[in-house]
Structure 1
């Protein structure tokens, strides 16, 4: 059966994020074992391969087929196994980076997430804006923002800006939180360097978000903070 034919029969699959990053067979396995989708009566693959077991452990944090929750250490070990076993190694590296970003608890975890996102960028370039954004985000999880070096801040700013540029170039749905994160980077750069232009840019990003979400109280609150720190001149 062609993937599009299956989607016509099971429309909910169009909205499942797993189809954007995994092969259809893997997505079907995940969906078929999710009680929330029991009414779809989806039949899982006949063969449960070690790759699929590792993938489920990494993404869902469960053991297959027991469905028991894995510890953080076991889930991250499953991610390592998935990288080793996956046909699409770079895709598996990206998934490991996301998992490390989400549940990692140590500096080593965050450093590995940064390395994984870097490997995906080097292999696939502008294929996805999210990988640039994720590398920018994980930079701020690795250290206190004021402890970041000039080069780390510059790279984070370049990454989130590149993510925004890719979205704008492809006319994809805007992601307001990218502009919010960039504004926060601008704010940190202002605190470290004292350049008024960074605050001006942060306010511009807040204004852009308000064109997308005019009723956002969070954005108005953040903009007010930036305006408060806008130096005279």
Structure 2
């Protein structure tokens, strides 16, 4: 079950205390019959120190109640690594005793100054974040790689000039296999098709990739 995302109000900003927040997360997990919780924290939610601390406290409480609960965080990243807010969130989780199985890096939408090879940017992001994860969690080199995941936005990204190609996907997959990264993924499976001929060639569309491809080609490149 994934909580949060780019829009809407994340539960940590709506619940008044850790017990209520843990109960809300638990209700969603039970409804889905899931023992896996991912927390996609970005935008204003990532800079809200109060909700970050409350979320950490609630997740720790939830893991006390559910020994088998697998927790991951999905965070924005740059080719230079996680920013100070992302690192603060992970430090908060670690300080509260949260068992974090993976940090899923959103290797996408870096900004207008990043208009070169998106595969290279994804690898640079992973390498920079790897050092940061080792420091935050005090893990070994190998464990830091195993505790990392990479999610790329396939095809045309939201930022002008950023296009993640099939060759980039193959490059990321090979790198992940070499390093033992937990998983690679894409945003999103329903975009893994070629756009119609009359579709925009420069805008990121919600229903197609914006690049020439066979249906499902990115999934194949990622090894799905």
TM-score, structure 2 normalization = 0.30
Q: Which has the higher contact order (CA 8 A, sep 6+)?
A: 2
More strand by share: 2
Decide which structure has greater helix share.
Answer: 1
Q: Which has the larger radius of gyration?
A: 1
